[in-house]
Amino acid sequence: MINGKPHVVVVGGGFGGVNMCKLLAKENVEVTLVDRHNFHLFQPLLYQVSTSVLSTDEIAYPIRSFFRNNKNVNFFMAKAKGVDQKRNVLITNHGEISYDYLVLAAGATTNFFGMKEVEDHAYGMKTIQEALAIRNHVLHEFERADKPYRSSEERKEKLTFVIVGGGPTGIEEAGAISELVEVMKKEFHHLDFNDVSIKLIEATGHVLPMITDDLQEYTVQTLRKKGVEVMLNTQVVGYDGKILKLKSGVEIPTSTVIWAAGVKAVDFMKDCGGECARDGRIWIDEDLLVKGAVNRNVFAIGDCAAFMHGDMQRPLPTVAPVATQEAVIVHKNIMKLIKGDNNLEKFHYKDLGAMATIGRAKAVVNKPKMTGFMAWCAWMLVHLIRLAGAHANLTVAIKWAWNLLSGIRLGRIITNIKLDSGKLTIPKVEEDNSKRNVNEGKPVHLGK
C-alpha cells in the first residue's frame, strides 16, 4: 500500500503494459511501470525503420508522455531481474520494489533455437537497435559492393540478402528490401543489379500460417514478382557471417542474414516463480494469474505469457491484440481483488484477423479477406490509428504517401552505430592501405 492505496507494479512498456497502465491510471491505485527502455516501441513497423522508410522517433514513443496527466502512474527505468512472490517484491538492477499486485508484460525476444553461431552473426528484428543495425549494414553493403576493385563473387555475397522466417515480419522485411533495391537502382549509376539477390527462407511448406491457403499463395506470388526468391521447406543449420548453410547441404554465400524465424519470452520470465513453456513463456490460468501464484496477485499478459484454453492445440500467438485484450481482463480482476471479490473474470480471446504488407502498395488481410492495394490501404489505416504518438501519425502518413508516389525514402543514413552488446559491430572506417589506384585515369566506377 502507498498512501493508503494499493500499489500495482507493471513490468514492460509494450502494448500490454502500456494499456494496462492506461486502464489503471483512472483507478484509486498507485502504479509503477518498470521498463529498461524509456520508450514504447511500435514493433510492427520496425521493418520500416530497418529499410529506411521511417525514423526511430516515429515508432518509439516516450513512455512518460502517455502518463503526463496521471500523477498516480510513475515510470521507473530499470531492468527487471526476478520476482520474489513470497515477499511480494520485484527485483530490478536498481533495487527491489514492493508490490500489492504485479503484472508481468515483459515481452519476447528473438529465438535462434539454440543455434549460437547463427545468433552471433544474424540480425534479430525485435529492437530499435537491431533495426538500425540492419539499416546501416544493408546500406553499407551496397556502398561496399560499388567499390570498383571487388570481384564478382565478393559483390554477389554483399548483395545477397537472406531473410529467414515466413511470418509477417519476414514477409514484410523481404518485400521492403525489394523496394529499397528499386531506390538503389536509381542512385548507383554503375552497379550491376543482376548481382542483387533477395531470398526468403521458410522451414515449413507455407508462409503466414494464420491466413488461408489462397492468401498464402497470393503472398508468395507477389513476393516472387518483386524479385524475392521464396524458398519453402528449407531449413537453416548454420551461419558463420559469410556462408549460410542449409539442411539440404546447399551453401549460400551472403553477408546479410535477417532472422525472423521465431520468438521466445525474455529470460527474466524463468525467475518469476512460475512454470514456463518450452519457449520461455510463463503459464497463466484463465483468470490470467500466473499458474501457482503464491498470493494470487501476480498476473502475466502478452508475449511473455502462455495462455491456453482447455481445447486449444497451442498457446495464443504473440501478437499485440492478445496483450491488449488480456490487459482489459487483468484490470478488471485486480479491481475485483482490491474489493475483496474472488470471483475473477475469465479471458476469451477475440481474433481480429491478421494482415501483412508485401512491399509497396500490396498487402494481405484475412478479416475481411482482401489483397492488393485495398488491403494495403486497410493495413495503412489500421497502423496509423494504432500508432501511439499524436503527430507521428501525420508525419508517418506523409512519408508513406510520398514513398508510394515517388519511391523516395529519406532514411538511408549510415550512422556507424555499435549495439550495446558489441555483437553487431557496425562498420568502422575500413583500412585498406594497398596502393591500388581505383581509377588510374579511368572512371572510378569499374563496378561491372
Say how many residues make up the chain: 448
How close are the terminal C-alpha atoms of the chain, in Å? Answer: 71
Strands 282-283 and 298-300: unpaired
Minimum distance from residue 271 beta carbon to a copy of itself (Å): 14
Residue 309: CB atoms within 10 Å: 12
Q: Is 53 helix (H, G, I), strand (E, B) or coil?
A: coil
DSSP 87-134: TTEEEEBTEEEE-SEEEE---EEE--TT-HHHHHHSBPSSSHHHHHHH
Minimum distance from residue 370 beta carbon to a copy of itself (Å): 28
Q: Is 172 a catalytic residue?
A: yes
Minimum distance from residue 33 beta carbon to a copy of itself (Å): 10
Report H helices in 15-111: 15-25, 46-50, 56-59, 63-66
Is the CB of 58 or the CB of 173 nearer to a copy of itself?
58
Is the CB of 310 or the CB of 441 nearer to a copy of itself?
441
Catalytic residue among 172, 173, 179, 202: 172
Residue 78: CB atoms within 10 Å: 18
CA dist 154 and 342 (Å) reads 66
Is the CB of 245 or the CB of 412 nearer to a copy of itself?
412
CA dist 438 and 427 (Å) reads 21
Minimum distance from residue 101 beta carbon to a copy of itself (Å): 14
CA dist 91 and 317 (Å) reads 28
Is the CB of 269 or the CB of 284 nearer to a copy of itself?
269
Minimum distance from residue 11 beta carbon to a copy of itself (Å): 13
Is the CB of 213 or the CB of 440 nearer to a copy of itself?
440
Which residue shows C-alpha cell 527485483? Answer: 91
Positions annotated as catalytic residues are 172
